[in-house]
Structure 1
Amino acid sequence: MISPEKQAALEERMAKLGVIEADLTEKFILGSGSGGQKINKTHSCVYLKHEPSGLEVKCQSSRSRELNRFHARKELCDTLDDIRLGKASKRKQEQEKIRRQKRRRSRRSKQRSVEDKRILSRKKNLRRSPGRDD
């Protein structure tokens, strides 16, 4: 269950973003995926559409309809924040960081890395005791 404090914080955030409950179209869809017979028989998946912006959010993060309603509204607010802030949004920054980490290295960067490893190898070879023949 959602605490009253979290619910109040979400309502305050929605008001700050200009999201009014009357502007939201809410539907409950039959659940799907893992969870067995219970999830396949209940309409716990929440579909939200914000009419002024045209944004659509679907949420089925839990088996509880009330929890999914909360998460869907939160996701809608996050998306609206991302649109308003653009590149400055926290989520966009995290996505960009992951994209940079996965990007392939340039040839020059790889050469530098290999050269650094060779230098370290030479240093370590100089540290060996003089009696060993390898």
Structure 2
Amino acid sequence: MSTVPKFPVDEREVEFSAIRAQGAGGQNVNKVSSAIHLRFDIMASSLPEHIREQLLCLSDSRITQEGVFVLKAQQHRTQEMNRADALARLQEVVDAVSVPQKARRATKPTYGSKQRRLAGKSQRSEIKSSRGKVNE
């Protein structure tokens, strides 16, 4: 994505720590701390108030009770690439929240869809009623 973000995340507000990556990788993964653990305090950030509120309202397991966004990047072999990947993923979340959602307009089902639904229900009812005891 080459577009300039509307609300860029300041790198100085993000806390990085290098940790060892999980999974396969042999000697490199066992010796080198190439994975990045990113911590971003939403309330202490310089993002606009409405963006911070939207981020905190997300039902995302990466956001803690204290309002800290925690992200782990371990896809790449180098620490620098994982750091850039973590920042890009954080920016994607902020960008997704900054786009206002369309207001939902209530609609009514069409006459044909009502008829198809009722026909399906009566057909299912017929199948179930035929499963009962046989009266002689």
TM-score normalised by the chain length of structure 1: 0.51
Query: Matched residues, percent identical?
Result: 27
- Count residues with an aligned counterpart: 83
Is 1:74 aligned to residue 88 of structure 2? yes
User: 3-state SS of the aligned residue for 1:17?
Assistant: coil
Q: 1:87 to 1:39 in 2, by over 3 A?
A: farther
**Equivalent AA in structure 1 for residue 82 of structure 2:** N
Tell me by how many angstroms 1:47 deviates.
1.1
Is 1:28 aligned to residue 28 of structure 2? no
Please give the alpha-carbon distance, in whole angstroms, between the structure 2 residues aligned to 1:48 and 1:21: 11
User: 3-state SS of the aligned residue for 1:35?
Assistant: coil
Tell me by how many angstroms 1:79 deviates.
1.3
Aligned to 1:3: none
Higher relative contact order (CA 8 A, sep 6+): 2
Q: Give yes or no for contact 1:44–1:60 (8 Å, CA) kept in 2.
A: yes
Query: Moved runs in structure 1, 4+ residues, more than 3 A?
Result: none
Unaligned runs of 5+ residues in structure 2 are 44-67, 103-116, 124-136
Tell me by how many angstroms 1:86 deviates.
6.4
**Equivalent AA in structure 2 for residue 44 of structure 1:** S
1:55 paired residue among 58, 69, 85:
69
Q: 1:84 to 1:39 in 2, by over 3 A?
A: same
TM-score normalised by the chain length of structure 2: 0.50
Tell me by how many angstroms 1:80 deviates.
1.4
